[in-house]
A and B are shown apart, each in its own frame.
Chain A
Amino acid sequence: MKPFAYVRAGSLQEAADAFTARPGARYLAGGTNLMDLMKLGVEQPEALIDVSRLPLDTVEELPDGSLRVGATVRNSDLAAHPVVRDRYPALSRALLAGASGQLRNVATTGGNLLQRTRCPYFQDVTKPCNKRSPGSGCGALEGVHRDHAVLGHSEHCVATHPSDMAVALAALDARVELYGPGGARTVPAARFHRLPGDHPERDTEILPGELVTGVVLPALTAGLPSAYRKARDRASYAFALASTAAVLEVTDGAVSHAGIAFGGVAHRPWRARRAEEALLGATPTRAAFEEAVDLELSAARPLRDNAYKVDLVRNVAVDVLAGLASRTPDRV
């Protein structure tokens, strides 16, 4: 392993200063992904700024009815939090669908958002990968890509984002809180991750030195029926082949709010805006869901060996929406 410096940050400012002072630094929280990537030589940080002990480990209800989740709250704690289970069940479900119990006990909210793709070409430093080594090419485009993207990919990168949690956050209109050299700011969770375009090396909108400090779940979607469903190769400890998080509100027999995000099919959680727009005001029938989801998926461009994902995500999304509609109390 390449030697690296280790700094334990006592405060946000200390963390940001330490990062700025050490080119090639990385923030370290649970380390469940970063450590693996360091062992593989994919990540070679000069320094690790340990932020796992910053006071960001609480979940608090804010006066406006939103819920603020600190960046170092562990995945298992967040999934089990009574307010999350009660008001944002899709998030709890998504968290529990991810990784294994042991990993969830260590992995943090911020780290979950920042985990890297599990594309085998990205993980193997002897193979080309534009995300790992810009300009080297994409091994997956014509290679083994059954698990790869069908939406929003580019000729430079067809990787998917592996997080389940981030899919739920996108559907629930959560915001990601950031702190960095330029101060604090927030970004909608659905726009936090990027599409690969010409710069697949950039997974997210985070700026150099910025740190995820928390996630805010809005009052808007609190208490609305929401769900997460994931299709995978084995019953546990497998990444999503395709997944859907959705939140649905029906008022006077018509859809008054829909938040839909697909996982496992794109470089980021895929917020299905076209489907949502199509559903607003519509009667929540299976046919309407199918039509809306198909509209969204008309943008899909499957690769040679992953066309099944279009069917799969369609089926999962329609199933999730129909399930929500069948138990959505009609708000009159």
Chain B
Amino acid sequence: MATTADTGIAPADPGSAVGAPAERREGRQKVTGRARYAAEHHLPGRAHAWPVAASVARGRVRSVDASAALDLPGVIDVLTHGNAPRLAAPDDPVLAVLQDDRVPHRGWFVALVVGETLEAARAGAAAVRVAYETEEHDVTLDAGHPGAHVPEEANGGHPARREQGDPEGAFAASAVRVDTGYRVPPLHNHPMEPHSSTAHWDGDRLVVHTSSQGTTPVRTTLAAMFEVPEERITVTAEHVGGGFGSKGTPRPDVVLAVMAARHTGRPVTVALHRRMLPSVVGHRAPTLHRVRLGAGEDGRLTGVLHEVVTHTSRIKEFVEQAAVPARVMYAVTDSLTEHRVAPLDVPTPSWMRAPGEAPGMYALESAMDELAEALDMDPIELRIANEPDTEPDSGKPFSSRHLVECLREGARRFGWSRRDPRPRSRREGPLLVGTGVAAATYPVLVSPSTASAHALPDGSFAVRVNATDIGTGARTVLAQIAADALGVPLDRVRIEIGSTELPAAPLAGGSSGSASWGWSVHDACTRLTARLAGHTGPLPEGGLSARADTTGTADADSPYARHAFGAHFAEVAVDTVTGETRVRRMLGVFAAGRILNARTARSQLIGGMTMGLGMALTEGSTMDAAFGDFAESDLAAYHVPVHADVPDVEAHWIDEDDPHLNPMGSKGVGEIGIVGSAAAVGNAVHHATGVRFRELPLTPDRVLAGLREAGV
């Protein structure tokens, strides 16, 4: 039943492209440096612009003295709220840059210096003198924050609060109870390519190259803000160096680039500096979790209560939906899942890989481990004992759910049966070694898309869709889908993506890209195949074409609850001398529908698992209470895992045949790799040390203090 990431041998037969480990189509371009990114469009006369970030946490800009900056050689102009073009109010308040004097958080852009060179712009920005009226700020989140309230909904449109039955009563009456709390710090997306945009006006036409997860919504936003019809705007994102959610919505760089291009009449590039990102491209909001699990002696859950407190900014409500996975995971009739959010003078949080699920499943799956311990039950068996027949919160049947199979297959591959369940049972000199398990889930999302397919007289095919390849392999996977739908070998298909000149398509986000774009590509190619079947003789000079639009089908309500599931296993070694915790191996088994490309899917899954390792052990951001910004602002201080931290990560999957998804039968693999992986590592640390750590990341300071307190 199980197949692995490394089984496939690229089949050349028509109809067998999907699933094969096809190599990335742009791989050679990328490794030879020829792939061109948004800031690398060297247009004639291009200027560079550098934003000036607010150095107060809350207040108003009283005055901007740009005279010293303007005196510097190479400085073209300085834009402020006093002279910047007035724009129509955007739907997303974080884009309303240089429109008024308000400073909602430290790092908010208050000016933009345009220069002949990057260096001139940067020097100019350093020379701009901004005077502020400061106001008292509050950036500190705690569970009892007076501003914390239950919002109408959390991210993803989920109700902020759901209550089923009598959770408090059921919990109180439970034979075994776990009442515990966890803290996940702010986290940063930090894609390898910082956000950047190059814009130029060609008469009344606007052309923008931007680093975005989806240029269709970027164009819509720019059209509205600059009051230009969409058909006069072209936005491209040919190559994107990662986003992890932070490029899922337009960011200030693109607005500033267009604004400066309009203001100066020249092409302008705005490339944000790494240190600016934490303040202006979103972050994973910190989450404070209280989790109560009640169970019978048999391990069957009798009450589940997951309550989350998080923060948002003063200008926009974003609520990390961390209690939502508890509505999906385990069979229970009495449950409470609730989010509360406190607006603070902080940068606006947003999507970061598996928003909601990543922190939520860290908490829920850690609590399940605590419950297994309280029950003296194997944590895998506990999860299996609570496998639901239908989605607990909605009552809908699952389109497919193979969590149990993932757990069993993972246990077999990982060697779980050889595990001594007693904590602190494995010592190697100063090292304590332990293993842990956790489940994973991620919803199946899909959006309508359009695409076109063209048969050309030379026997090749061109498929067009404004998909974005943010490093996932979208180009490659779409070619595979097209080849099979056309019934031709992969090398006959050319894929064009990354431009609003192509058929409109949704963004790369929510693990929905391949499903959304692939569906329309599949439909367009299927129609083209039918047209070709009815065509006799040579093709006309312009070839034959077909279009597809999945509006009304892709977004039709499903009677099914549709989610991917998975199981994570981790082995860690904790050094009792230093508190240093290192992962020795991680293994994940996933059930995510049909895997479309064994090579790129594996890459996505182990990438997600590695990000989960970082969330567990190394990544954390500290809100500086005095200054109102994140203390860790570069990659030397914000510790993403390095190679030495990631010795052995394996991803496997289970063949899952689910007819209720899309024509490809896929569920998406971009995010599920991170979901639950931090809990597996944390549970392994508990198994190793006997100490339960409940605040991430598990850095030496925390671990050493915990070991000392426990007398280890």
CB distance from A158 to the nearest CB of B (A): 14
Contact with B along A109-127 (1 / 0, CB 8 A): 0000000001010001111
Residues of B568-625 at the interface with A, using a CB-CB cut-off of 8 Å, are 577-580, 582, 617-618, 622, 624-625
Using CB atoms and an 8 Å cutoff, list the residues of chain A in contact with chain B.
Answer: 1-2, 39, 41, 100, 118, 120, 124-127, 139, 142-144, 146, 231-239, 241, 306, 308-309, 311-312, 315-316, 319
Q: Tell me which of B55, B578, B579, B632 has the highest count of chain A C-beta atoms within 10 A of its own C-beta.
A: B578
Instruction: Find chain A residues with CB under 8 A from B119 CB.
Output: 1
Residues of B618-670 at the interface with A, using a CB-CB cut-off of 8 Å, are 618, 622, 624-627, 631-633, 636-637, 639, 641-645
Do B624 and A319 have beta carbons less than 8 Å apart?
no
Do B578 and A231 have beta carbons less than 8 Å apart?
yes
Q: Is B704 in the interface zone, CB < 8 Å from A?
A: yes
Do A2 and B123 have beta carbons less than 8 Å apart?
yes
Instruction: Find chain B residues with CB under 8 A from A234 CB.
Output: 617-618, 639, 641-642, 644-645
Smallest CB gap from B623: residue in A: A144
What is the bound-complex CA distance between A234 and B644, given in angstroms? 8
Do B636 and A308 have beta carbons less than 8 Å apart?
no
What is the bound-complex CA distance between A101 and B683, given in angstroms? 33
Smallest CB gap from B627: residue in A: A127
Do A142 and B642 have beta carbons less than 8 Å apart?
no
Do B622 and A144 have beta carbons less than 8 Å apart?
yes
CB distance from B429 to the nearest CB of A (A): 11
Contact with A along B366-397 (1 / 0, CB 8 A): 00000000000000000000000000000000
Instruction: Find chain A residues with CB under 8 A from B642 CB.
Output: 100, 234-237
Do A311 and B704 have beta carbons less than 8 Å apart?
yes
CB distance from A141 to the nearest CB of B (A): 10
Residue from A100, A146, A232, A308 in contact with B580 in the complex, judged by beta carbons closer than 8 Å: A232
Instruction: Find chain A residues with CB under 8 A from B701 CB.
Output: 146, 241, 306, 308-309, 312
Q: Is B530 in the interface zone, CB < 8 Å from A?
A: no
Residue from A100, A237, A241, A319 in contact with B577 in the complex, judged by beta carbons closer than 8 Å: A319
Do A126 and B579 have beta carbons less than 8 Å apart?
no
Do A142 and B626 have beta carbons less than 8 Å apart?
yes
CB distance from B202 to the nearest CB of A (A): 31
Whether A231 contacts B580 in the complex (CB less than 8 A), given A312-B704, A319-B430, comes out as: yes
20 examples of A-B residue contacts, CB within 8 angstroms: A2-B123, A120-B631, A126-B55, A143-B625, A143-B627, A144-B624, A144-B631, A233-B639, A234-B642, A234-B645, A235-B645, A236-B642, A236-B645, A241-B700, A308-B705, A311-B705, A312-B578, A312-B701, A316-B577, A319-B577
Smallest CB gap from A40: residue in B: B275
Whether A315 contacts B627 in the complex (CB less than 8 A), given A231-B700, A234-B639, A308-B701, comes out as: no
Whether A311 contacts B636 in the complex (CB less than 8 A), given A142-B626, A235-B582, comes out as: no
Using CB atoms and an 8 Å cutoff, list the residues of chain B in contact with chain A.
Answer: 55, 119, 122-123, 126, 430, 577-580, 582, 617-618, 622, 624-627, 631-633, 636-637, 639, 641-645, 699-702, 704-705, 708
CB distance from A237 to the nearest CB of B (A): 5
Q: How many A-B residue pairs have CB under 8 A?
A: 86
Instruction: Find chain A residues with CB under 8 A from B705 CB.
Output: 308, 311
What is the bound-complex CA distance between A71 and B517, given in angstroms? 58
Instruction: Find chain B residues with CB under 8 A from A312 CB.
Output: 578-579, 700-701, 704
Instruction: Find chain A residues with CB under 8 A from B579 CB.
Output: 231, 308, 312
Instruction: Find chain B residues with CB under 8 A from A143 CB.
Output: 624-627, 631
CB distance from A221 to the nearest CB of B (A): 24
What is the bound-complex CA distance between A39 and B123, given in angstroms? 9
Do B123 and A236 have beta carbons less than 8 Å apart?
no
Instruction: Find chain B residues with CB under 8 A from A238 CB.
Output: 639
Smallest CB gap from B56: residue in A: A126
Residue from B626, B637, B704 in contact with A118 in the complex, judged by beta carbons closer than 8 Å: B637
Smallest CB gap from B637: residue in A: A120
What is the bound-complex CA distance between A309 and B700, given in angstroms? 10
Instruction: Find chain A residues with CB under 8 A from B126 CB.
Output: 2, 41, 125
What is the bound-complex CA distance between A166 and B637, given in angstroms? 21
CB distance from A319 to the nearest CB of B (A): 5
What is the bound-complex CA distance between A39 and B430, given in angstroms? 43
What is the bound-complex CA distance between A143 and B26, given in angstroms? 46
Instruction: Find chain B residues with CB under 8 A from A241 CB.
Output: 700-701
Instruction: Find chain B residues with CB under 8 A from A306 CB.
Output: 701
Given contacts A126-B55, A233-B639, A312-B579, 6 further A-B contacts (CB under 8 A): A2-B123, A139-B626, A143-B625, A143-B631, A144-B624, A311-B705
Instruction: Find chain A residues with CB under 8 A from B578 CB.
Output: 231, 312, 315-316
What is the bound-complex CA distance between A164 and B622, given in angstroms? 25
CB distance from A143 to the nearest CB of B (A): 5
CB distance from A160 to the nearest CB of B (A): 13
Smallest CB gap from B126: residue in A: A41
Smallest CB gap from B701: residue in A: A308
Q: Tell me which of B55, B577, B708 has the highest count of chain A C-beta atoms within 10 A of its own C-beta.
A: B577
Whether A1 contacts B122 in the complex (CB less than 8 A), given A233-B618, A237-B636, A311-B708, comes out as: yes
Instruction: Find chain B residues with CB under 8 A from A100 CB.
Output: 642
Instruction: Find chain B residues with CB under 8 A from A146 CB.
Output: 622, 701
CB distance from A98 to the nearest CB of B (A): 12
Instruction: Find chain B residues with CB under 8 A from A239 CB.
Output: 636
Instruction: Find chain A residues with CB under 8 A from B704 CB.
Output: 308, 311-312, 315
What is the bound-complex CA distance between A319 and B576, given in angstroms? 11
Smallest CB gap from A307: residue in B: B705
What is the bound-complex CA distance between A118 and B631, given in angstroms? 12
